[in-house]
Amino acid sequence: MEVNKLINSINDAVSEVFDGSTIMIGGFGEAGSPVELIHALIDNGSRNLTIIANNAGNGRIGLGALIGQRQVNKVICSFARSHKSITFKEQYEKNEIELEVVPQGTLAERIRSAGAGIPGFYTATAVGTPLANGKESKMFDGKEYILEKALSADFAFVKAENADRYGNLSFNKTARNFNPIMCMAAKQTIVQVKNFIDVKETDPEKVITPGIFVDKIVEVKNPLIETHAIENGEVYP
Amino acid sequence: MEVNKLINSINDAVSEVFDGSTIMIGGFGEAGSPVELIHALIDNGSRNLTIIANNAGNGRIGLGALIGQRQVNKVICSFARSHKSITFKEQYEKNEIELEVVPQGTLAERIRSAGAGIPGFYTATAVGTPLANGKESKMFDGKEYILEKALSADFAFVKAENADRYGNLSFNKTARNFNPIMCMAAKQTIVQVKNFIDVKETDPEKVITPGIFVDKIVEVKNPLIETHAIENGEVYP
Amino acid sequence: MMKSKLKTLKLGWTRNQIASKIANDLPHGSYVNLGIGMPELVSQFVEENKEIIYHSENGLLGMGPPALENEVDYELINAGKKPVTILPGGSFCHHADSFSMIRGGHIDICVLGAMEVSENGDLANWTTGKGIPAVGGAMDLVAGAKNIFVMTDHLTKYGEPKLLKECSLPLTGKSVVTRVYTNYAIFGIEKSGFKLLEINEDINFDYLKKCTEGKIIQ
Amino acid sequence: MMKSKLKTLKLGWTRNQIASKIANDLPHGSYVNLGIGMPELVSQFVEENKEIIYHSENGLLGMGPPALENEVDYELINAGKKPVTILPGGSFCHHADSFSMIRGGHIDICVLGAMEVSENGDLANWTTGKGIPAVGGAMDLVAGAKNIFVMTDHLTKYGEPKLLKECSLPLTGKSVVTRVYTNYAIFGIEKSGFKLLEINEDINFDYLKKCTEGKIIQ
């Protein structure tokens, strides 16, 4: 029997998501955003979700659509303000969705910490700003730092370029971004991949995310390009 | 003018090391150990050094030789006990060298933290053991963790497989080990590399240590193989 | 103070001229992060005889110019989410590694815009307190980069000073700015205030003082 | 107690038999770290119908068997510093990433030797308190892996119990062991003591109790 994490149906891949799940969604802007997995989650219909991502979605596809479907209660992100971010803005202005703003590097490190078994770490980022309010602080060598806590999730949705049956991943250019660290930080990591490759093609020196951090893989050969989809006014579902 | 971190002479590469320096030395066992840089440091003659490494040297070459030359006051490492570790044992038993024992994963994370601007982090490793003595502890979700602090250095000595003029590095197999994180954690990172390559050969997806973490590169095309050198009873200088 | 009476004259250096002054101050071989907006102009003015390595916090070191139409890859973008290129010797990394470069003090200079700067180097540039609060990487950059260069108009579009005794807006970082480049002048930040390093030839010192709430040191 | 009078008979399972029992308990597809020494035997006994992925903490996931003479690369070694191989689908990583796999709870099972185990799962296996103290990755492994399987002789070479009420040696970790495999028996660790899961057919329960200082639950 061989390890093989490939799932044939994208709907099966997200079938374990439940109401009230916390879900990390990879990507920075459209680069590395697992749009098709999010669409499968819209089909799945789970509600009261907490989303951890860098942004709060653009247009009415992907995360923008998920929010538009009112499946999301709360977004934890660094940058929810964009002229293309329609659905989040609509709900935020009516107090219908909660927002936790986290500095981008702190967000990344909190996610990596969860994956690395570190419950908390100190950082100078945000010291003296409103985002330090309510946080413990501590001096190291005469300088003030605040305590930031690990951020984990029930699921991570990730987009990769190549994956083998073990879940060894590589990414395309700046589509790497949050994806590798989110793979580490969730109880179940689900990956949409452009190319499912034979394990013999995996170079052990070039694996970015080792399979130990991956649970399910689904192949999406021609993922939607967000810029084009928004220009064309595409909407999901 | 082009950025080029290559130094022609290995003795020039280590010339800024001073008495009382703290030096990180990469490698795990003999894999990735920058033996020739250490030999240049023996020639340089700096004393009262603090060495941060996983091991305390084998035989009378490399770190074993540096200790044998009485240039080292203190070793911070996870595993200083080995039947081939002669010089450290000799001096330790006579109380002539100081040892700080750090669990291997904590050692790695403390080094990475220094490189990542994190002055301290919490870990469950060593809780309830003698290595937690004197350390602050804190509860997270009902579980106890201890505070570990960043470990930085004046210099890092590192061995890599390939480097370009910017200092972009890749490593050979398990010779990667502590090398990439030590590059991040020192004020000056000095790399001995088997192959100095043209920047056009650098694949941006496959760089392990980006050049931003590297200061000086020196080419050592045929580094000594520790196993063979010790079998042959080699001694430096 | 007569904030509201100052006019928004387009006095002093143009944006390109400010960008060029900053470019002149970037040392050869330095690692630089250029903030979104005005600071992006800087790279155009770097002299041929030196090489700067640009970092974009979304995991790109060795960033090249914006992508031409035929070069566009929507997965090769900068922190402003615009398609860019990568230069030979560049590399990609994930977000935790990218912000390790920032937080760990490996970025030599970060150039950022400002809403307000105080005389002790506090910076406010992320929110007016209205609308959706969105910080991005600004707080990490100001806390982590070795030098923070602010590039800004000397006055707001309402003609009010941006260089203040104390910031009134929510801070991005405390005592983080090391240098301020405006259309009127260039300042270092010292303990006692804005240290005047250069003044535009069309601006007289009295006018500069009137346009600057924070203390200027000559 | 009659510690000193117990004889070191080579009773019970052989080391290979213990290794085989552990191998049987490794689930298909699990990520496993085998400690240096006796635990290294386990991989030989994994049945053909399942696949285990081996982690070596020096940055190797998907480790294969020891290197044959013609395969030796002194930069492809395991945590015991012996030349090994890598299987297809394996990968290399640096030490901080490798220990993230451990500390972050991604390793399903770690098999380790023991000097002493207490009835509440405390483990002592790194130092007798004499000689050069050297911990390696043991403390990280026991604190981080999801399950800690101890593989040990039931008695010391002096015939003394190793399964104790409380450890007398410096601890490697507190309440970390989940299962103990000895030549006499297999135990789970429960709040109330060593839960007997299987006993070797040549060992009677009274003898097992005599050889075990900690509380046994049937």
User: Of B6, B201, A173, A175, which is closest to residue C88 (Cα–Cα)?
Assistant: B201
**Which one of A125, A128, A171 has the shortest CB-CB distance to C140?**
A125
CA distances to A229, B23, B66 from B51, rounded to whole Å, are 56, 5, 10
Residues of chain D with pLDDT under 50: 1-8
Q: How far apart are CA C141 and CA C79, in angstroms?
A: 12
Spell out which residues of chain C touch residue B165, defining contact as CB-CB under 8 Å: 89
Instruction: Note whether B213 contacts D: Cβ–Cβ < 8 A.
Output: no
Per-residue pLDDT at C9: 53
Average pLDDT in the C132-161 region? 97
Say yes or no for a CB contact (<8 Å) between C144 and A106: no
To the nearest whole percent, how much of chain C has pLDDT over 70?
96
Size of interface A-C (CB pairs under 8 A): 144
Q: Which of residues B84 and C83 earns the better pLDDT score?
A: C83
Tokens 């983080």 sit on residue: C176
DSSP string, D79-124: TTS-BEEEEEEEEE--HHHHHHHHHTT---EEEE--SEEETT--EE
How confident is the model at residue D2, as a pLDDT? 45
pLDDT in tens, D142-182: 999 999 999 999 999 999 999 999 999 999 999 999 999 99
Whole-angstrom CA distances from B34 to A77, B100, D32 are 42, 22, 30
Residue D182 confidence (pLDDT): 98
Distances (CA, A) of A134 to A127, B169, D62: 11, 41, 44
Furthest-apart CA atoms within chain B: distance in Å: 57
Q: State the best of B118, B137, B202 to mutate against chain A, taking most chain A CBs within 10 Å.
A: B118
Q: How far is C50 from chain B (nearest CA, A)?
A: 5
Residue among A80, A124, A181 whose CB faces C95 most closely? A181
A190 bridge partner residues: A157, A216
Contact between A99 and C127 under an 8 Å Cβ cutoff? The reply is no
State both tokens at D93.
Answer: 């990583």
Distances in Å between the Cα of A149 and the Cα atoms of A119, B152, C106, C194, D87 are: 6, 23, 24, 37, 37
The two three-digit tokens of residue D156, written as one number: 């010391």
Whether the per-residue pLDDT at C1 is higher than 90: the answer is no
CA distance B67 to chain A (A): 30
User: What ipTM did this prediction achieve?
Assistant: 0.96
pLDDT tens, residue by residue, A104-141: 999 999 999 999 999 999 999 999 999 999 999 999 99
Greater confidence, C1 or A53?
A53
The yes-or-no verdict on residue C187 having pLDDT over 80 is: yes
What's the rounded Cα separation, in Å, for the pair B18 and B47? 8
Given a cut of 50, whether residue A212 has pLDDT beyond it is yes
Cβ contacts of B124 on chain A, cutoff 8 Å: 117
Interchain contact, A141 vs B122, CB within 8 Å? no
Q: Which of D26, D50, D53, D100 to mutate to test the interface with A (most CBs of A within 10 A)?
A: D100
Distances from the Cα of A195 to the Cαs of A3, A216, A221, in angstroms? 18, 14, 6
C76 has a pLDDT exceeding 60: yes
Interface C:D, ≥3 CB–CB pairs < 8 Å: no
Are the C-beta atoms of residues C132 and A79 closer than 8 Å to each other? no
pLDDT tens digits for range A146-204: 999 999 999 999 999 999 999 999 999 999 999 999 999 999 999 999 999 999 999 99
Please choose, from the candidates D84, D90, D103, D17, the residue with its C-alpha nearest in 3D space to the C-alpha of residue D53. D90
pLDDT of residue C4: 47
Q: Return d(Cα B135, Cα C12) in angstroms, integer.
A: 57
Average pLDDT over residues C60-70: 97
**pLDDT score at C23:** 98
Assigned superfamily of B10-102+152-225: Glutaconate Coenzyme A-transferase (3.40.1080.10)
Which of B 107-146 lie inside 8 A of D, CB atoms?
A: 107-109, 111-112, 123-131
Q: Which of D140, D141, D148 best tests the B interface by mutation, with the highest count of B CBs <10 A?
A: D140
Q: Do B109 and A121 touch (CB under 8 A)?
A: no
Alpha-carbon distance of A123 to A141, in angstroms, equals 13
pLDDT in the model for residue D192: 87
Domains of chain C: 15-217 (3.40.1080.10)
Q: Which of D29, D93, D104 sits opposite A116 (nearest CB)?
A: D104
Task: Check: CB of residue B169 under 8 Å from CB of residue B160.
Answer: yes
Q: Are C178 and C147 in contact (CB under 8 A)?
A: yes
Residue ranges per domain, chain A? 10-102+152-225
Residues in chain A closer than 8 A to B123 (CB atoms): 117-118
- Chains touching C (at least 3 CB pairs under 8 A) are A, B
Closest Cβ opposite residue A131 in set C81, C95, C139: C139
SS3 content of chain C, % helix, strand, coil (to 5): 20, 30, 50
Cα of A180 to nearest chain C Cα, Å: 7
Check CB contact under 8 Å for C53 and B166: yes
Task: Name every residue whose Cβ is closer than 8 Å to that of residue D207 and which is 6 or more positions away in sequence.
Answer: none
* Burial (CB count within 10 angstroms: exposed 0-12, middle 13-18, buried 19+), residue C159: middle
Q: B45 in contact with A at a CB cutoff of 8 Å?
A: no
Tell if the pTM clears 0.95, that is, is over it.
Answer: yes
Q: Could you list the beta-strand ranges (E) of chain C.
A: 31-34, 53-56, 60-66, 84-92, 109-112, 116-118, 123-124, 147-151, 163-164, 179-181, 185-190, 193-199, 216-217
Give pLDDT, residue D9.
53
What percent of chain C stands above pLDDT 90? Answer: 94
Q: What is the mean pLDDT of residues A38-54?
A: 98
Across chain B, which has 237 residues, the per-10-residue mean pLDDT values are 96 98 97 98 98 96 98 98 92 97 98 98 98 98 98 98 98 98 98 98 98 98 96 95
Distance separating alpha carbons of residues A193 and B211, to the nearest angstrom: 29
Which one of A1, A207, A213 has the shortest CB-CB distance to D106? A213
Q: Is B173 on the interface with A (CB under 8 A)?
A: yes
Pseudo-torsion of CA C85, C88, C91, C92, nearest 10°? 30
How many residues make up chain B in this entry? 237
Is the CB of residue B93 less than 8 Å from the CB of residue B118?
A: no
Assess whether the previous peptide bond of A237 is cis (omega < 30° from 0).
yes
> Which is nearest to B153 in space by CA: B63, B98, B75, B71?
B75
Residues of D with a catalytic annotation lie at 57
Instruction: List the single residue in D with minimal CA-CA distance to A180.
Output: D97
Confidence grade of residue C107 (pLDDT, cut at 50, 70, 90) = very high
Q: Test A104 with C95 for CB contact under 8 angstroms.
A: yes
SS3 C214: coil
| pLDDT given for residue C118 in this prediction | 98
Residue tagged 């023991």 (tokens): D114
| Alpha-carbon span D62 to A104, nearest angstrom | 33
**Residue A95 in this model has a pLDDT that exceeds 60:** yes
CA torsion, ordered A101, A102, A107, A109, to nearest 10 deg? -160
The pLDDT assigned to A1 comes to 87
